[in-house]
Amino acid sequence: MSVLGAVKKLLARPTPPPDVELGRNDICWCGSGRKYKHCHLASDERRRSAARAAARPSAAGGMF
């Protein structure tokens, strides 16, 4: 597979529906047929955690 083909494949990946809350044992949103907990749960949790950390206001002041 060429680099261009790999990039196109990555860009064509489906994205999760924004408002749907899946349970751990539901079928994954990507269409793989696997359970969500074995497919995309970990990556979605990391993405949500990073978004929460970025939205958190920084502490006033600082070290000095």
pLDDT at 53: 87
Task: Give pairs for 43-52: CB < 8 Å, separation 24+.
Answer: 44/16
Identify the domain containing residue 39 by its residue range. 19-55
- Whether residue 8 is contained in a domain is answered as no
Do residues 10 and 4 touch, judged by C-beta distance below 8 A?
no
* pLDDT value at residue 19: 64
Q: pTM for the complete prediction? A: 0.55
Residue 47 pLDDT greater than 80, yes or no:
yes
Q: Is residue 48 part of a domain?
A: yes
Say if 6 falls within a structural domain.
no
Is residue 12 a part of any domain in this protein? no
Residue 24: inside a domain, yes or no?
yes
What's the rounded mean pLDDT across residues 9-30? 76
- The answer to whether residue 32 sits within a structural domain is yes
Task: Please determine, for residue 37, whether its predicted confidence score (pLDDT) is greater than 70.
Answer: yes
